[in-house]
Chains A and B, each alone.
Chain A
């Protein structure tokens, strides 16, 4: 079985400041890892994904994440946030084989302050 933990339910940050959203996962099998963003009143949009290879992955809108296998983490970072980054961010995993199911974390609400 898999589980995903996002410890921070809300993260306030000032505009142009850096931000890190934390994600830890647990799985007995290999997984792919994802970050999705949900803007107000919209669906989920893929920010970035880790499948294999380089542990630092870059996504859209200047976001990046680093996969750390030993710490089973996949933290999301952005060096300088904008007001438009205000949204809810979900970390998710899916096993590399055997099932197509996604397992989501509980989400982190990023609030960018002017």
Chain B
């Protein structure tokens, strides 16, 4: 089954404690991206990757890092999380030449 898998689904952490949210897709898609969803703001792009070892900032990259060492994986790293990063995060992938993006189930992060 074609899917984008994020882990964990829920995470509560403390300010400053480094964390990683994993994202994996099994569709051999070139393009992957991370979004955060906040009430009244919709989904905003954090980072994206056009292919292995090619990443770039989206609209709200501050406080986040990403890497793309393998085509299927695109982890989101918060080196020093802060409460304003409490949000619902989505990973998405899209194939080259395709119009449709596939989304993961989301990761609800709470930073206290």
Chain A contacts to B: CB under 8 angstroms: 4, 6, 9, 32, 34, 36, 42-46, 49, 51, 90, 92, 94, 100-102, 104-107
Contact = CB atoms under 8 A, between A and B. Distances in A.
Nearest to A105: B42
A37 B104 CA distance: 13
Contact of A46 (B43, B100, B104, B105): B100
A106 B48 CA distance: 20
23 contacts: A4-B42, A6-B42, A36-B103, A42-B106, A43-B4, A43-B90, A43-B104, A43-B106, A44-B90, A44-B103, A45-B103, A49-B100, A51-B99, A90-B42, A92-B43, A100-B31, A100-B50, A100-B101, A101-B33, A102-B43, A102-B101, A104-B35, A106-B40
Interface residues of B, number: 23
Contacts, number: 50
A101 B99 contact: no
B94 A43 contact: no
